[in-house]
Amino acid sequence: MKQFIFLFLFIFSCSKTQSQQNQLSAARVLEIKNFVSDKNYNKEIAIFINFKTHSGKYRYFVYDLKNDKILQRAMVSHGSGSVISQSDQLKFSNVEGSYQSSLGKYEIRESYTDKFGKSYRLQGLDSTNNNAMQRAIVLHSYDCIPNQESDQKACLSLGCPMLSKIAFDQTAKYIDQSKKQIILYAFY
């Protein structure tokens, strides 16, 4: 009986790990490793957002590029304009006033304090998100983002990736300790 329980727990933990790895594919990780390899960015940590995953599930990952492991998982919002009525699909835009999330690589810039508390400016590095500074797309926390996964969707933003306060504070430690800019990569 003990062997059966061990086997069940082993299979369950492997399937959970496999599910999390599917949310963050090796190809995406390799793409960022290659991107930062010859640039003056942090080569040890990157942040990934998989907008294909339901917003009530973990889809935000702080990733250890050196040791190939996830350091933090969290829920993250997407823009209210990204919602397609009566669909699970999302749409994305780089246009001011669209309230949509934008895909691509971002450089996490300096922090500042505003109505959301501490926030980080995001500099879009791709043609799909290069208006991020103009659009005031920033990484910040907001009370309506849950800490635990559920079947309920997370609240919506005006295009910013929003985290729970607890998740944001954990991420802030990684960002603030880094001597080089960290890349955030949002994909679908």
Q: What is the pTM of this model?
A: 0.88
**What is the rounded average pLDDT of the residues 125-149?**
97
Distances (CA, A) of 20 to 53, 62, 66, 72: 11, 13, 18, 12
Neighbours of 76 (CB within 10 A): 27
Query: So what's the pLDDT on residue 22?
Result: 61
pLDDT at 151 over 80: yes
H/E segment holding residue 34: helix 26-37
Q: Are 186 and 103 in contact (CB under 8 A)?
A: yes
Q: pLDDT, tens digit, for every residue of 3-35?
A: 433 333 334 444 444 444 467 899 999 999 999
Cite the beta strand spans of 75-115 per DSSP E: 104-114
Cross-strand partners of 80 = none
**What is the rounded average pLDDT of the residues 127-147?**
97
- Compute φ and ψ for 123, nearest 5 degrees: -100, 115
Query: So what's the pLDDT on residue 14?
Result: 41
Distance CA 150, CA 58 (A): 9
Q: Which residues of 47-71 are buried (b: 16+ CB within 10 A; e: fewer)?
A: bbbbbebbbebbbbbbbebeeeebe
